[in-house]
Structure formats: structure tokens, C-alpha cells
Amino acid sequence: MGRIPSVHSLQICDSFFDAHIFFVFKNNFYLAIAYNYNTQTTAMLKLFDLRLLSLLTVLAFSTCRAQIFSSNSALIQVNSGALVYSNGGIDLNGSSQFTNNGTIYATKNSTLPLNGNFSINGSSTCAGNGTYYIEQDWKNNSVFTGGSSTVHLYGNTEQFITSDNSTETIFNHLILTGSGSGTDKRKTLLNTNASCGNQGNLTLNNRELATEGNTFSVLNPSLSAIAFDNTFLAEGFVSSILSGSLVRNTNSTQNYIFPVGSSNGTERFRAVTIQPEANSPQSYAVRFNNYSADIDSYFLIQHETLIDNGNSLFYHSIERISGSANANVGVQYLPSSDGDWKGLAHWFLPIQQWNALGDLPQTINGNYSEILRSGWNFPDASNAYALINPADIIIIPTAFTPDGDGVNELWEIPNLDKQYPNNVVRIYNRWGSLLYEHDSSTDGSYATAPWDGTVKGDLMPVGSYYYIIDFNNLDNKSVKGIVTIVND
């Protein structure tokens, strides 16, 4: 028969005899023509009068099974209750107008090129309130209107939400399922952002939604707009790499969870919670970085003195991208594998260092611990947060009162022995004469015999005395100053 002329065509390959069915518009009629690719033969199946048929409709009681479903500028409607299986994929081209109010399956039960994909190309549109089951990739290069529809990505190999021209798909409900592990657990954003709409939900189950360097936004501010399997060590989560993130809108003072994690390297689920202090609209972006902050030049060694050390396994990126309300921010971790941490620090951009967020409470959240910073105001553009242990600060008193009343009798130096166990403390009078010396490496810790203001049993007079404390650490650091004996 040669090449089939067509202006508008719907192409379906029947799963029983591996043929394509072309609906060809010619001389005011639609002709249904079957073309068998194996035998390269054709047969006319049915003739439709264009004056009576303006679009192809799959009726409510119909079940259509095919291997490839391809449209070139056709009008296609799947009515409520109808069921369409395409075992090689669905490909909308030209200016096709596809309305799905039924149930569509794009499966991989085929060896054809569009194996299991759903593609919207050209100036085609896809709308309706139906259900889509997609076993391979979702590609949107044009217009998808989610309505109240539900899209299931149910494949057992890695699936992609993608676009050739960076068109963002705004799903209504997006549900991730499958049984693949490792990389095949992922549903991955490729060259595009994506989102769930103002009334939609994201259901992760036990899958990984990998945004890569893109953003997945949950625009619905409902607390339940994100659902995930929280089975310990088999949680569903959202992963991202640098510049990517999970974004949530909020409009209440409830505690919103951001189920973030990563399967790059050691798989980790390390959620963040954000509880805004206002009911007004806010928006937050969170990313879990499954490596040391040093790699992104947030050097852990650069910290204020209130910090002893920081977590080198991972850090989080947390950002308020709209709104102005303070929020309670919690970071979860697993002590059995991450170590035990007592605090949280924020990279302070103006001076390029980690600053502690204060004395923070720690709570238990199932198998995970959570460090919580209340009333955080997101003070600058930096979004880096790391678990830390606060330093045991050495506080050197400037005065004491050895007057026999039992209060402040000794010149005690908290945490000196803990931080510098080999310290040496010396006290001098104004003429430089040594009055007191304690070497912790030979005499025991300073805390066991702090200076009591006496020399050979005699109390020194009220006045100022000079001290030198050698820490005897690796850099041979020492500190000098004045301590005053005061008589209350």
C-alpha cells in the first residue's frame, strides 16, 4: 500500500497481532487501517464519517489494549470508566488534544522504541481528571493540566520525569511505587523542575524521588501533602544534589516534615522538621548533603569558640524562600551510625564560619534523635546547617573572695583540665615573684588543688596578681592575665 497519507491520525498497535491501527482523515472520513509490521500488510478495518465523528472517544464500557499509542494532532477523549492499555508507550505529537477521565496504562510489555513512556510533544495538550499508570518515563514538552488526576510511576527500574525544553510538570497527585532497589528505586527529575499542585499530594511510599540539581515543590500547604513509608532503614525520601531541593508551602503553625535523604554512598534518611510561628503563607527549601560540608567550602575547622567539633558525614541546606516568620527547625540524625551530637550550627556568611545556635534541646523521634532550634529567624543568605558538639568553654575568673565565708573561696577555672589536661598554672605578684605553681601532668588536675589565695598558708592581701596558664597543647598556646583578690 505504501506510505499511508494522514492529516490527523491516532496510532494504536494491537497487542494480539503486533499491528498499528491508523485513524486516517481523508475526504471527510476517518479510515481505520491496520498495518502489520511483521508481514508488512494492511487491511481497512472501519470507516468513520467525519460529519458524525469529531473526535475519537474511548467509551466508559470499553477496554482498549495496544502496544503503542501515537497521535498526530488528533482529538482523543478517554471517558470516565474507560480503560486503555498501551504496552509500548503513549506519544502525543503535533497539536493533539488528549483528555483522560478514565484510566491509562503505559507499560513496558513491548520491544518498541517508546517502551513504557508517556510523552507530550509539539503543541499537544493533555488534561482531564483520570488516572495514569506509567511504567517508564514521563516526558512533558508542552502542556499538562493536572486537574484532579493521579499519576502513578510504578516501574521497577529507574524512571525519569523529564522534558526536552525544561517544561515543568505540575502534577496533581503523584504516587511512586515499584520494587526496584539501588538506582532502580529512583524516580528522577531530568533537566526540569516538577511539582504537585495547590490541592495535590506527593506519596513517596518507600521510593526515592531524586531531584538531582532540580527542585520538586509541594504547593499544597496541607500537613498531609507529603506521605512516605517510615519503616526504619527503608524510608521513602527525596534526594537532591547541589542547587536541588524539596520545597514545601506552609500556612499553619503545625510541624511540617521534609523527608530528605540520599542513596549516594551510604544510604541515609535524615529528615528535617519546620514549624512556622505564623499562619501566613511561608515556603521552605531543604536538601540533605550526604558528604562533609568541607567539600562545599563550609570548612568545619572554621568555627567560633563555642563549638568543639562538627559532623563530617553530612550537612543540611535549609532555606526560607518566602515569608518572614520565625520557625522551629529540627534536624534528625541516627546516633548509632552518625555519632552523638549536642547542638546545631549555621554557617555565618559574613565572617565565613560556623556559629552555634545556642543551647538546644534534643528529642527522640522513633529511632532518630532530633536537635531543635526554636524561633529561628534565618538571619542571612547562607543555608548550611551542621550537627556540632558545643565546646566546654574555659572561663577564667577575674576575681575571687578567699574571706572564709564559704562562697567563691577558690580561683576555680571550669573545663581547664578537660580541654588541656597537661596545663600549668602560675601566679606572680607585681614584682614578678612566683607565688603559686601547679603542673597538672605531675601534680594531678588543677581542679583538685586550685589556688586559694594563700602562699605557704598565709592569705595574700587584697589586690591584683598576675597569672600565666600554659595549656601545653600541640601549638604550645598560653594565656596571661590579672586575677584580683577581693574582700567582700
Q: How far apart are CA 243 and CA 212, in angstroms?
A: 8
Query: 142: which 3 cell numbers?
Result: 508542552
DSSP 293: G
According to DSSP, the β-strands at 327-333 and 478-485 are unpaired
Residue 106 belongs to a domain: yes
- Give the SS3 label for residue 441: helix
CB burial of residue 404 (10 Å; 0-12, 13-18, 19+): exposed
Q: How far apart are CA 391 and CA 159, in angstroms?
A: 46
Q: What is the pLDDT of residues 107-128, one digit of tens each?
A: 998 877 778 999 999 999 999 9
Q: How far apart are CA 307 and CA 296, in angstroms?
A: 20
Cα→Cα distances 76→10, 13, 419, Å: 8, 16, 75
Q: 355, 390, 425: which is the final residue of a domain?
A: 390
Is the same domain home to 149 and 221? yes
Q: 353, 371, 390: which is the final residue of a domain?
A: 390
Is the same domain home to 217 and 344? yes
Is the same domain home to 339 and 431? no
Contact of 338 with 351, CB cutoff 8 Å: no
Q: How many distinct structural domains can be found in the chain?
A: 2
Q: What is the pLDDT of residues 382-417, one digit of tens each?
A: 999 999 998 887 889 999 999 988 899 999 998 899
Q: How far apart are CA 137 and CA 351, in angstroms?
A: 45
Helix (H) or strand (E) run with residue 217 in it: strand 215-218
Which residues, listed in sequence order, are joined to residue 385 by a DSSP beta bridge?
316, 346
The CATH number assigned to the domain holding 449 equals: 2.60.40
Query: 130: which 3 cell numbers?
Result: 483520570
Which single residue is written with the C-alpha cell 577575674?
Answer: 398
184-199 burial: b if 16+ Cβ within 10 Å, else e: ebbbbbeebbbbbbee
Contact of 344 with 377, CB cutoff 8 Å: no
Q: How far apart are CA 85 and CA 88, in angstroms?
A: 9
- Give the SS3 label for residue 446: helix
Q: 340, 368, 390: which is the final residue of a domain?
A: 390
Percent of the chain with pLDDT over 70: 86
Q: How many residues does the chain have?
A: 488
Q: What is the pLDDT of residues 344-384, one digit of tens each?
A: 999 999 999 999 998 789 999 899 999 999 999 998 889 99
Q: What is the pLDDT of residues 255-306, one digit of tens each?
A: 999 999 999 999 999 999 999 999 999 999 999 999 999 999 999 999 988 8
Q: What is the pLDDT of residues 171-183, one digit of tens each?
A: 999 999 999 999 9
- The residue range of the domain holding 464 is 399-485
Q: How confident is the model at residue 159 (pLDDT cuts 50, 70, 90)?
A: very high
Is the same domain home to 426 and 302? no
Residue 227 belongs to a domain: yes
Is the same domain home to 129 and 42? yes
| Residue among 80, 33, 27, 75 at smallest CA distance from 55 | 75
